[in-house]
Structure 1
Amino acid sequence: MSRAAKPKLTHLDDEGRPAMVDVSAKAATTREARAECRVRFPAPVAAALRGSGLRSAKGGIVDTAVIAGTMAVKRTHELIPFCHPLPIDGVRIAIDWHGERELRIECAVKTTHRTGVEMEALTGATVAALTVYDMCKALSHAIVLGPAKLLGKRGGKRDFGSVG
C-alpha cells in the first residue's frame, strides 16, 4: 500500500531557506487564474456611492480600480519576492455590486508560460479593492476589504475551481 506524498512548501530549499522555484524544466502551457476580492461599505456610504454612479471627488472609482488592478497584475513579481516575471497575455477586471452594500471585484489573468498566474489574479483583485478603499475613505474608514480568494486556476500540474 503506497502512501500519498506529504504536501511540501515549494518556496523553501532542502535546508528550509527561502528559494525561488526553478521552472526551467516545465513546459510552457496556457495558464489561467481567476480571483476575487470584496469591498463592504457602511449602508450610508453604499447608498451615496450608488447615487453617484460610483464616482468620488477623485474621479471614476471603477475605472481607476480597473487600471490599478491591471497595473498590479503586471508588477506582481516586483511585489512578491518569489513570483516569476511573466508575459501577461490578458487581464479582465470586473467590478459590480453584490447586494446592497458590497462590491465584488473579479480579476482573470492569462499567460502562456511555465508557471501559473494565481498570484497575479489575487494581486490584481486586491489592489483594485485597495484602490476603491483609497478613493472612498473620505466617506468612511469603516470600509472592509475581503475576503480575497482564488476562484480557480487552469494549466500546470492540477486545475482548481473554475476560471470561466
Structure 2
Amino acid sequence: MNQSIKSLLLCSIGFLMASGIAAAQVEKNSDLYKTLKQQDSILFDIGFNKCDIEKSAEIICDDLEFYHDKGGVTNSKEEFVKTMKNGICSNTNTTKVYRFLVEESLEVFPMYNNGELYGALQTGKHFFSTNEDMTYDKSDNYALFSHLWIIEENEWKLKRVLSYNHTSKEKSEN
C-alpha cells in the first residue's frame, strides 16, 4: 500500500474516533458503565431474581421489544410484565430460576447523535440456575444478551433486548 493511502486511512480513522462516530467500549470504571450495570441489577437482581416486577418495569420503555431465541418475541412492556407475573414470578411456580451476570463479560458501547449521548448498547453473558448460590464455573445453562438502553426524559430505559445462544457450556465447548 503506498504511503499516501496509508496516511489517508490513518487520518480517517483518527477523525472517526475523535468525532465519536467510531466509539469504543467504555471503561469499566466510567459513570456510563456503572449506571448501566446498576440498571442490569434492577432488571435482573430485583425484577427477575426477587420478583419485584414493578421496580424493574419502571426502567423499561412502553414499546419494549424482546427477542428470545427460545421464547419468541415480546412486543411491549405490558406483555413483558404479564409474562413475568404469570411465569417465573407466579405463585404457582414451584421451581424458582435465578439469573446471574458473568461480571467480566459485561461491555457497554455509547451511542451518540451529533455528539450527544442518547443511548448505549450493553452486551454480556449470563447464566441461570435453580440454586441461588450457583457460580458460573459450576453452571451449564448460559446465554448471551444485548440490551439497547436509551435516555428517555433524562432516565435510562430499556428499549430493545436480544437474548440468544441459550445453551450449556458442554455443548459450546465441543
TM-score class, shorter: 0.3 to 0.5
* TM-score normalised by structure 2 residue count: 0.32
Greater fraction of residues in strand: 2
* TM-score normalised by structure 1 residue count: 0.33
Structure possessing the higher relative contact order (Cα contacts under 8 Å, 6 or more residues apart):
1
